[in-house]
Structure 1
Amino acid sequence: MGLRANPTYRQRRFGAEVRGIRERAGFTAIRAAQAMGMNASHISTVESGRTSLSPDRLRRLTSASGGEDATYVEGLIELGGESGKGWWTEYREQLRPSLLDLAELEDRAERIVCYEPMFIPGLFQTLVYATAGYRGGYALASPEQQEREIDFRMQRQRVLAGERSPQIHAVIHEAALHVSWGSPETMRDQLLRLIEVARMPNVTLQVLPFDGRVGFGTSFTLLEPAVPQLSTVVVEHVERALYLGEAEGLARYRNWFARLCEAALPPVVAATETEAFLVKNSLGLIQRLLYPLL
C-alpha cells in the first residue's frame, strides 16, 4: 500500500500519539524500530500519519516503553484501525477536509461539549436558519458549494439520535438568541427547535446571560471518545479551524468549559415544574425571547 498524500486528522492524530509514546520512552527512531521489528525509515511515515501501524507492532512498542495505560493503548489501536468511512465519505471530493474530520470525530465521540457566543450550534440548527447563515455570511462560495455545506450540516445532526448518540452539553451565549437571520419566523422556529433538542435525554443546554460573566469571543467544541486522552478540541477561526489534541490544551479547554457552565443559567430540563419559572433559568430566557415572535 502506498503512502497517503493527504492524511485525515484521525490518521495524523494516530501518528502523533505514536510519536508521543516514543518520546516519552526516550526512544530514538532506531530504538523504536528495533522494538517493533521494522525499518527505522518507516517510523517517520507512521508518525506523520502517512501510513498505519499494526496492533501487534504498537503493542510491542508500548510494551518496550513500559509506561502506557492499557486502556489508552487499546483505544489507540482502535483509532488506528478505523476505516474512516461513514456517511461523510460521499462528500470527500466536495468539501473541505476539516469538515469531514469534524463529522468523523462526532461519529466516534461519547461526549461532545461546545460553547457558542454568536450562533446556534450547528447540530441544533434548523434548515432555514442554517441556509440564512450561509447566504448572509462572509464566506466566498458559489451557491452550489453553499448548498453542499448546508446539506452536510443537516446530515451531521443524525448524531443526535443515532444508535450510539453521544452526551451533548452546549453553552450558548444569550447574544446568539438575539441574532435575527432572514425573518422573525426563522428565529421563532429556531428557538422552538432549540427547546425541542434541549429536552432530548442526551442533550444538556445552558444559556450564558448578558448579565453574567463575560464569555469567550471564540466558539469551541470538545469531542471525547471512549478514551479521554484521545479527545480533540476544535476551535473555530475565521481562517481555519484549529484541531488540538495535546494534554495541556485539552485540560485548558475542559477547565474553561467548566467555568462557563458555572456562570451560565441552569439547564433546560425535560419536565419543568411550574415553580421552576420563578427562578431564572435557560428555558425561561429562551421562552421570554420566543413569545414576541409567536
Structure 2
Amino acid sequence: MGLRANPTYRQRRFGAEVRRLRESAGLSVGESAAVMGMRQSHISNVESGRTGLSPERLRALAGAGGDVDTTYVDALVELGQASGKGWWTEYRDRVRPSLLDVAELEAGARMLSCYEPMFVPGLLQTPGYATAIHRAGYVRTSRQQDDLAVEFRLKRQQVLGGERAPRLHAIVHEAALRATLGCPDLMRDQLLRLIEMSRLPNVTLQVMPFDGPVPFGTSFTLIEPEVWELSTVVVGHVEKSLYLGDRSDLGRYGDSFAKMCEVALPPVDATVSPEAHGVKDSLGLIQRLLYPLL
C-alpha cells in the first residue's frame, strides 16, 4: 500500500499519538523501530499520518513505555484501525476536507461542548439560517458550493438523534441571537428551533448575556470521544479552523468552557412555564427576543 498523500485529521492524530507514546517512553526513532521490528523510515511515515500501524506493533511500543493506561491504548488501536467511512464519505472531493474531519469526529463523540459568540451553533441551525450565513460569508463562493455546504451542515445534525447520540452542551452569546440577518422571520424560526432542540434529552443550551463577563474571543468546540486523551478542540477561524489535541490545550479549553457554564444564564428548560421563571435564565431571554418577531 502506498503512502497517503493527504492524510485525514484522524490519521494525523493517530500519528501524533504514536509519536507521543514513543517520546514518553524515552525512545528515539531508531530504538522504537527496533522495538516494533520496523525500518526507521516507516516510523516517520506513521508519525506523520502517511501510513498506519498494526495493533501488535502499537501495543509493543506502548509496552516499552512501562505503565500505560490500557483503556487509552485500546482506544488508540481502534482509532488507527478505523475505516474513516461514514455518511460523509459520499461528500469526498465535494466539500472541504476539514468539514469531513469534523463530521467524523462528531460521529465518534460522546460529548460536544460548543461556544459561539457570533452565530448559532451549526448543529442547531435551521436551513434558512444556515443558508443566510453561507451566502453572507467572507469567502466568495458559488451558489452551488453554498447549497452543498448547507446540505452537509444539515446532514451533520442527524448525529444528535442517532442511537449513540453524543451530548451537546452549547453556550451561545446573546449577540448571536439578536442578529436578524436582514429577515426577522428567519430569526424567529431559528429561536423557535433552539427551544425545540433544547427539549432533546442530550442537548443543553445556555445563553451568555450582554451584562455578563467579557466574552471569550472566538468560537470553539471541544469534541470528546470515550477516552478524554483523544479529544480535539476545533477553534473556529474565518479561513481555516485550528485542530488542537495536546493535553495542555484540552485542559485549557475545557477549563474555559467550565467557567463559562458557571457565568452563563441557567440552561433552557422548555418544560417550565414562563410564569414559573423566578430568575433570569436562558429560556426567558430567548422568549424576550422572540416576542417582537411573532
TM-score for both structures, normalised by structure 1: 0.98
Between the aligned partners of 2:90 and 2:133, the Cα distance in structure 1 is 24
State the Cα distance separating 1:198 from its structure 2 match: 1.1
- Cα displacement string for residues 11-51 of structure 1 (whole angstroms, at most 9, x for unaligned residues): 00000000000011110111111111112221000000000
- Cα displacement string for residues 204-237 of structure 1 (whole angstroms, at most 9, x for unaligned residues): 1000000011111210000000000000000011
Contact 2:129-2:186 within 8 A present in 1 as well: yes
Contact 2:168-2:204 within 8 A present in 1 as well: yes
Q: Does 1:128 align with 2:128?
A: yes
1:58-207 mapped onto 2 (5 Å cutoff): 58-207=58-207
Contact 1:107-1:159 within 8 A present in 2 as well: yes
State the Cα distance separating 1:182 from its structure 2 match: 3.9
Between the aligned partners of 1:260 and 1:79, the Cα distance in structure 2 is 31
Amino acid at match of 1:15: G
State the Cα distance separating 1:100 from its structure 2 match: 0.5
User: The residue matched to 1:278 in structure 2 has which SS?
Assistant: coil
State the Cα distance separating 1:275 from its structure 2 match: 5.5
1:255-266 mapped onto 2 (5 Å cutoff): 255-266=255-266
Contact 1:15-1:49 within 8 A present in 2 as well: yes
Q: Runs of 5+ in structure 1 lacking a partner?
A: none
Between the aligned partners of 2:273 and 2:129, the Cα distance in structure 1 is 30
The aligned counterpart of 2:11 is 11
Amino acid at match of 1:186: L
Amino acid at match of 1:200: L
State the Cα distance separating 1:157 from its structure 2 match: 0.3
Contact 2:274-2:284 within 8 A present in 1 as well: no
Between the aligned partners of 2:186 and 2:274, the Cα distance in structure 1 is 28
User: The residue matched to 1:2 in structure 2 has which SS?
Assistant: coil
State the Cα distance separating 1:81 from its structure 2 match: 0.7
Structure 1 runs of 4+ with >3 Å offset: 273-276
Between the aligned partners of 1:278 and 1:262, the Cα distance in structure 2 is 18
Contact 2:138-2:238 within 8 A present in 1 as well: no
State the Cα distance separating 1:175 from its structure 2 match: 0.4
State the Cα distance separating 1:274 from its structure 2 match: 5.5
The aligned counterpart of 2:25 is 25
State the Cα distance separating 1:273 from its structure 2 match: 4.9
State the Cα distance separating 1:136 from its structure 2 match: 1.8
Amino acid at match of 1:236: G
Between the aligned partners of 2:205 and 2:276, the Cα distance in structure 1 is 16
Between the aligned partners of 1:202 and 1:154, the Cα distance in structure 2 is 18
Contact 1:170-1:206 within 8 A present in 2 as well: yes
Between the aligned partners of 1:293 and 1:96, the Cα distance in structure 2 is 35
1:231-246 mapped onto 2 (5 Å cutoff): 231-246=231-246
Contact 1:220-1:235 within 8 A present in 2 as well: yes
Contact 1:200-1:270 within 8 A present in 2 as well: no
The aligned counterpart of 2:220 is 220
User: For structure 1, which segment, 132-141 or 69-78, has the greater mean C-alpha deviation from structure 2 after superposition?
Assistant: 132-141
TM-score for both structures, normalised by structure 2: 0.98
Contact 2:113-2:221 within 8 A present in 1 as well: yes
User: The residue matched to 2:277 in structure 1 has which SS?
Assistant: helix
Amino acid at match of 1:261: C
State the Cα distance separating 1:68 from its structure 2 match: 1.6
Amino acid at match of 2:158: R
Between the aligned partners of 1:74 and 1:227, the Cα distance in structure 2 is 10
Contact 2:270-2:283 within 8 A present in 1 as well: no
Between the aligned partners of 1:221 and 1:262, the Cα distance in structure 2 is 17
Between the aligned partners of 2:120 and 2:238, the Cα distance in structure 1 is 17
User: The residue matched to 2:221 in structure 1 has which SS?
Assistant: strand
Between the aligned partners of 2:110 and 2:246, the Cα distance in structure 1 is 19
